[in-house]
Each structure stands twice: as structure tokens, then as C-alpha cells.
Amino acid sequence: MTTSPSSPASDEHQPPAVTDHLAWRRHLPALASAAAGINHASNAWDAVSDSFCDQDGWPVDEKGYADGKVKRDAEAWKHVEVFLDHGPEVLAAVRAAANSADYAGGPISEDLYRLRGIDTTLGRAGRLRHEWDQIMVLMEGSQPGSLQLYQESAEEHRNAEGWHYAHELSDQGPALVRAAEYLADRTDAERPSHAERARVALSRSAPGNRRVPSDAPAAARRRIRRPRVLPADAPSAESRRHQTGRSPDPRRPPLLSPALLRRTPSVRGA
């Protein structure tokens, strides 16, 4: 009977380790794209911000300067929300997979060091998003015109507050992605070796493949004997019995053929 991909019967055939491994790794492309998006928004603003200011750095075009920052903040906040949605699961997996050597001086030691403050960044950004959601709930009963005005103002405030967290994620985000990719690749490389060791262990434990060490006691070596292989043209057990007068089973007494019995003196006539 066919089962849907979400049915319990199909899930039973999925190894738990593989499922867990893929569950957090699938977030990496989204996080990598979000990290690049924050840096792009920041670099785009840096490229034009000087044009709105004088030589001392003071804005001479205040409206253009303000509009540019609003655009930068709005673009960056979209990527912050991607980190809120996908970052915690990847962060937990990275910390579970990293060992003391990774923190001490491995290839991702600097990236792991950058991640020390990412919990605070994600936590505060998450609270900011929660406050925004609450404001939108309170404004549901407003008039359409007023709702749009208040919503735009609230969005600008949220995005402006969120730029600080976006700026921090511009450094912490790429570090999270690099560390996660490194640990995922290392896990992929280790998995075949584990599978090979399990296969060898199973083959050794098979009944026909048990071996006794050469230094084992003689009694132990005698307990495990390989079955005797007879040539293809060897006579059958019945044929050997007629020819030799012996039972094919050495543990049983000899069986005499009828001809031998006629030549054997009777006990009564002896």
C-alpha cells in the first residue's frame, strides 16, 4: 500500500540520524542569502551617503539622507527576520556539533568566538518583532486611512531600531554560516567511517564468519570447526557403508553387510 510522504509508515524508513542532520542543514542557504543581503544594504548606503553630506559629514540634503536611511533599514530588517526564523535551530546544532578543539584553535575557532553574542542579538531583535506584532493587533480596529499611516510610521520605527541588530548580524551571520557548513561537511565525512565500522562488526558477528584468535587455548579452537568439504566425485555415505561395512557415523557401531554376516560364525555355533 502506498503511503504519503507525511505518513508514519514512510517516516519509519528514514534513519533518525539522517533526518536530524538534514533538518538543520536545510536552513543554511537562507541564512547565507540573508547575511549577504544585510551587507549589500549596508554597502549600498555607504556608497551614496557621502553625497548627502558636506566635507565635515553633516547632511546638506536632509530629506535625501533620511529617505536613504529608511530604505537601508527596511531592506536590512527583512534579512534580520530570516535570521529570527532560521538562526536559532542552526545555532543550537553548531554548538552541539562543535568540540573543545574547535573552540581552542580549529579552522572555525574565530567564527565560534564571534557567535558568543549572537544570542543577545537574536533575542532583542525577536522582542522588537513581537512588539511590532502587538502594535498591529491594537491597530486592527482603526480606519483604513489611519491604519496605513500608523503602520508606515511603526514600520519605520521598527526598522530603525532593528538596524543595530542587522549591523551586528552582518558580522555574526556569516560566522554562523561558515561554522555550520564546516561542521556539516565534517559530519558527512565521518558518517561513512561509522557505517563501515558497523558493517565490519556485523560481518564478524555472523555465524559463519566467527574466528578464534591464534593465541586462544586449544580447547577454544577445537570448539569452532569448519565443516568438512568432500570432493564432488566422493562416494556417498550409503556406498561407503556397503564397501567398508562401517556406519557413516563414526559414533555408531559398525554395520556389517549381508555378505559379511554369512561369513561370520554364529555365536550359537561357536
Three-state SS letters, the chain: CCCCCCCHHHHCCCCHHHHHHHHHHCCHHHHHHHHHHHHHHHHHHHHHHHHHECCCCCECCHHHHHHHHHHHHHHHHHHHHHHHHHHHHHHHHHHHHCCHHHHHHCCCHHHHHHHHHHHHHHHHHHHHHHHHHHHHHHCCCCCHHHHHHHHHHHHHHHHHHHHHHHHHHHHHHHHHHHHHHHHHHHHHHHHHHHHHHHHHHHHHHCHHHCCCCCCCCHHHHHHCCCCCCCCCCCCCHHHHHHHHCCCCCCCCCCCCCHHHHHHCCCCCCC
Percent of the chain with pLDDT over 70: 62
* Higher pLDDT, residue 58 or 44: 44
Whether the CA torsion 26, 28, 29, 30 is positive or negative: it is positive
* pLDDT tens by residue, 186-239: 887 776 544 455 555 566 655 555 555 555 555 555 555 555 655 666 556 566
Give the mean pLDDT of the chain: 77
Q: What is the pLDDT of residue 10?
A: 42
Which amino acid is it at 201?
Answer: A
Q: What is the pLDDT of residue 50?
A: 86
Q: What is the pLDDT of residue 268?
A: 46
| All cell numbers assigned to 105 | 584553535
* pLDDT tens by residue, 1-56: 444 444 444 444 444 444 455 688 999 999 999 999 999 999 999 999 888 888 88
Weakest mean pLDDT among 169-178, 210-219, 261-270: 261-270
Cα–Cα distance, 45 to 71 (Å, whole number): 9
pTM, full prediction = 0.64
Query: Max alpha carbon distance in the chain (Å)?
Result: 142
Cα–Cα distance, 79 to 177 (Å, whole number): 14
Nearest to 179 by CA among 88, 113, 252, 261: 113
Q: Is the pLDDT of residue 179 over 60?
A: yes
Q: What is the pLDDT of residue 23?
A: 83
Nearest to 83 by CA among 184, 178, 172: 172
Q: What is the pLDDT of residue 146?
A: 75
